[in-house]
Amino acid sequence: MLRDITLGQYYQTESVIHKLDPRVKLGGTLLYIISLFLFGSYLGYVIAAAFLAIVIRLSHVPFKFMVKGMRAIFFLLLITVGFNLFLTPGRELVSFWKLTITVEGVRMAVTMAVRLTLLIIGSSVMTLTTTPNNLTDGMEKMMKPLKVFRVPVHEVAMIMSIALRFIPILMEETDKIMKAQIARGADFDSGNLIQRAKALVPLLVPLFISAFRRANDLAMAMEARCYRGGEGRTKMKPLIYGKRDRVAYLCICVYLISGVVLSRLIEAAGI
């Protein structure tokens, strides 16, 4: 399951999406996530899924690689669907023991499942098509107005970029520790869910030690290179909007407006 986590990974290939300015991808991802909460009908989610499918096609990232990241959040998705299915009041559909499934509960469960799936895959597109360095530069540029309020923009962007970069590294380290303990007789696969969770507790100590050691090595490397933050630093590749970036912004705006308008019209018509 650890190998199924794609968040923070970068997929190297040549595509239009890879060549876009990171600010476009960050802003587009944010607007896409917002749109998932604005749509009031299933037509809106169909439009969102179609738009995401087009973006994935243009990114040249294999769809199997995108979907692989959903396995890591399967239990979260299952819990979300279960809570909405059994705890949403409304017209009774099926009742057994002390549990009742309502029409509104089924509708809410399906909506939340679709929304969470599109949200995870849409966020993965951004990280899979953007290098950590470009992601840092894009975040810093977009948060630049916050400097007026004395927010350390460069430091915040650097922290977020390092956190994303450390996700696959820590997953790989966890996999190595698990294999080492399995070779010494540890069992992580047998037993129920609680027993499996308890079996993972011995992984935490060596994993935390490894994480602190890597963080210390990174801090020493940055200090040895005289890193002093973002003040006065220049960029080898400054971010400049091009024609394709403006076209991308236009496509995102058209998607957002058309999706919201059509969704509201369908909702108002009661279809």
- DSSP label at 256? H
Q: What is the pLDDT of residues 65-89, one digit of tens each?
A: 777 767 667 777 888 888 888 888 8
25 contacts 129 by C-beta, under 8 angstroms: yes
Question: Quick one: pLDDT at residue 91?
Answer: 81
The amino acid that residue 85 corresponds to is: L
Question: Quick one: pLDDT at residue 29?
Answer: 92
Q: How many other β-carbons are positioned within 10 Å of the β-carbon of residue 11?
A: 18
pTM above 0.85, yes or no: no
Q: What is the pLDDT of residues 234-243, one digit of tens each?
A: 777 788 889 9
Integer CA distances (angstroms), 269 to 40, 42, 104, 105, in order: 12, 13, 18, 22
Question: Quick one: pLDDT at residue 78?
Answer: 83
Question: How many H helices and E strands in the chain?
Answer: 11, 2
Q: What is the pLDDT of residues 119-174, one digit of tens each?
A: 888 888 888 898 877 888 888 888 888 888 888 888 888 888 788 778 778 888 88
pLDDT average, residue stretch 257-271 = 76
